[in-house]
Structure 1
Amino acid sequence: MAKLPRDGQTTLKDTKSLRLRAAWLYYRYGLTQKDIADRLGLARTTVVKLLDEALKRHEVQIGIAEGDGEMIELGVRLERALGLDEAIVVPGGSGADDTAQAVGAALGTLLSGAIGDGMSIGVGWGRTLTAALATFAPPRRENAKVVALLGGVVEVSVTNPQEFTWRLANQLGAACFLFPAPLIVDSAETRERLMTRCGLDRLERMAERLDIAVVSVGDIGSAATSLSRDLLTADELRELAEAGCVCDVMCNFLSTDGQPIDHPLRHRVMSIGLDTVARADHVVIATGGAARAEAILAAHRRLGCDTLVTDEHAAVRILGLVGG
């Protein structure tokens, strides 16, 4: 798998990011221009121009300029430690909402250039993904599809999976495929009937052929801000925590090693299975905050993340956990 390609409509901010990233890999890590070109999905001649421009702008002295360089270094370290194709790290915010906005903005910019004609995009849910809409400004794409990977909620406080999916598809000019079912139903039998007898099996078939899957992850600790906390009872949250849950991916609850938690909720969630999501050509995980480091690692172990979009606090914590 390679880094997600970008189209030709690169912004000035994107150009600077690529320039500093190329310079960091060349001068700090000693990669060849060809290696950098392969890693960044660019032509070698483009890499040569980026390095030359970095020198002319005095961005390369003894090291890369402070601030930008720190984020790039964290990204490169995450890529090496986790085997990622790309890690995009943004400065940390002062709280959960600030972090979601910052990480979401980076995700929106990434997806604006990564989605091409004819692509099928599967999307999850969360504050971070919703925040991506503010910077998601792609050209109109022909024959693209956006597929919801999970059901919706009855009472909407911040965001709704169905609304997010529709807005993303609308901004892209893509066909939109919603998941018209509650996110959590009353029994495994209800879930089975809805999935097999009400047309939702079509979504499962579409999810088997995704070019990109984009999900966020949450934790369920006492201070967690995961949206699933609003959908579960206090007893259910306690039972999940006692069973070793550290991660919530579309209301699929995982242990540290990425395995599903053995709890009745597992069979009542209306979402595409994580094994199916993991088979997408490219999996993007976007979330931030130090408290979600374990959740990010669990989701990575389950889904095989290709691109991680996160903040510096999560990045530092992840590297501490994995010794990277």
Structure 2
Amino acid sequence: MAIRATDQIIHKAAWLYYTHGLRQDEVAKQLGISRASVAMYLRKARDTGIVTISTSTQLFSQDVLAREVEDAFGLDTVWVVSPERDGPDAAAEVPVVAASVFLELVERGQRIGVAWGRTVYSMADVMPFADLQDVTVVQLCGNLGAPYSYRPDQCTMEIARRLNAKGLNFYAPLVLSSERLARELRDEPVIREQLASVADCDLALYSIGTVDEDSHVVKCGAMSPSEVHALRDNGAAGVVAGQMIDRHGTLLDCDYNRRIISADLNSIRAIRRRMVVIQEDSKLEPLLAALAGGLCSHLVITAEMARRLLARAAKPSVRASA
């Protein structure tokens, strides 16, 4: 079942108030809402049974996992997807939950930045239709020529179609053949203006790619397996909007990144809500890199990934970089 963002804020208010012992005004300040709203959410938490004197953590273990991940990594909101009994596994449900969350985060008049990948396109494919004509959906990185449905332009335009919104594509390739060509293309007025406007987005949506032969940049022909393995040996830990990041979440200094047409990572960090969706439990290291680099504020993951993140957060070196 998809988890509503409004339910999550009720759970989070209750977690901060009852578990962390914050006053209602302190909860309001941390969540960016009014004190009256906090009082209303706490009342709803009691009325609906989210909070009881002795059994709240047992009844809502998945919500406890989400709150613990938020606390460990300083995230605004985390949604944890658990498999339902006799139903599909959690990974299969992630795009459904993420699509529901995304729709509740989008507001009229906003500008939304979207990257690419199978998870993002799977979200778009199950996303209900909405009428948000004054929303603009912006492609965060250049395009690929490979005939895959989860190309950057396809992800952007399908989400725009589902929202009945305006879609803005990058009419430039993701990877250029030389650094000089990439610099010249980034200097073109239309491309320069589009890249500069990324920081003005209100919400960004993307997943984090792996650095191996299963990576999208390999499958879509941007790199060969040997090239991506060489970058991994040189410190690449994940892929964000087509760009290689190291384990600290900073842009890797390499020829590949200098040939990329994509939103600057600082521009992505400047977006207030940075929604990351991780479907595969194998993406622990890339996700940790993105978290270390401040590239995520809102996160949708499986319960298994949540437990693995918490296990890593318990290590002093991870806590220091989170």
TM-score for the superposition, normalised by structure 2: 0.83
Pick the aligned partner of 1:263 from 254, 259, 271: 254
Q: Which residue identity lines up with residue 217 of structure 2 in the other structure?
A: S
Q: 2:275 aligns to what SS in structure 1?
A: strand
CA offsets, 1:51-97, max 9 Å, x none? 44444444444223757x2221121112111111112221269xxx9
How much is the aligned-residue C-alpha RMSD, in angstroms?
Answer: 2.9
Identify the residue that residue 219 of structure 1 maps to in structure 2.
210
Q: Which residue identity lines up with residue 165 of structure 2 in the other structure?
A: A
Pick the aligned partner of 2:182 from 186, 191, 200: 191
Alignment CA distance shift 1:34-1:128 (3 Å) = farther
Q: Which residue identity lines up with residue 145 of structure 2 in the other structure?
A: V
- Give the Cα separation in 1 of the matches to 2:250 and 2:258: 14
1:40-189 alignment runs, 5 A limit: 40=31, 42-61=33-52, 62-64=54-56, 66=58, 69-91=60-82, 101-134=92-125, 136-137=127-128, 139-189=130-180
Pick the aligned partner of 1:313 from 301, 304, 317: 304
CA offsets, 1:237-280, max 9 Å, x none? 22012112111112211111123223221112221121221122
CA offsets, 1:205-248, max 9 Å, x none? 321311112221022246xx432231321210220121121111
**Total equivalences in the alignment:** 308
- Give the Cα separation in 2 of the matches to 1:60 and 1:208: 39
Alignment CA distance shift 1:180-1:258 (3 Å) = same
Q: How much identity, in percent, do the aligned residues show?
A: 25
Q: Is contact 1:124–1:250 with CA below 8 Å preserved after alignment?
A: yes
Q: Is contact 1:113–1:138 with CA below 8 Å preserved after alignment?
A: no
Counterpart check, 1:276 vs 2:263? no
Q: 2:144 aligns to what SS in structure 1?
A: coil
CA offsets, 1:168-201, max 9 Å, x none? 1122222211012222221112222322237212
Q: Is contact 1:125–1:161 with CA below 8 Å preserved after alignment?
A: yes
Alignment CA distance shift 1:65-1:316 (3 Å) = closer
1:247-258 alignment runs, 5 A limit: 247-258=238-249
Counterpart check, 1:236 vs 2:197? no
- Give the Cα separation in 1 of the matches to 2:152 and 2:141: 7
- Give the Cα separation in 2 of the matches to 1:280 and 1:13: 22
Alignment CA distance shift 1:14-1:177 (3 Å) = closer
1:12-27 alignment runs, 5 A limit: 16-27=7-18
**Structure 1: which 5+ runs fail to align?**
1-10
Q: Is contact 1:88–1:309 with CA below 8 Å preserved after alignment?
A: yes
- Give the Cα separation in 2 of the matches to 1:18 and 1:276: 27
Q: Is contact 2:170–2:191 with CA below 8 Å preserved after alignment?
A: yes
Q: Is contact 1:213–1:283 with CA below 8 Å preserved after alignment?
A: yes
- Give the Cα separation in 2 of the matches to 1:98 and 1:266: 36
Alignment CA distance shift 1:92-1:275 (3 Å) = farther
- Give the Cα separation in 2 of the matches to 1:130 and 1:141: 19
- Give the Cα separation in 1 of the matches to 2:42 and 2:270: 36
Q: Which residue identity lines up with residue 234 of structure 1 in the other structure?
A: P
Identify the residue that residue 7 of structure 1 maps to in structure 2.
none
Alignment CA distance shift 1:253-1:170 (3 Å) = same
Q: 1:237 aligns to what SS in structure 2?
A: helix
Q: Is contact 1:101–1:131 with CA below 8 Å preserved after alignment?
A: no
**Structure 2: which 5+ runs fail to align?**
none
**Greater displacement, 121-130 / 301-310:** 301-310
**Greater displacement, 120-129 / 279-288:** 279-288
Alignment CA distance shift 1:135-1:21 (3 Å) = farther
Q: 1:208 aligns to what SS in structure 2?
A: helix
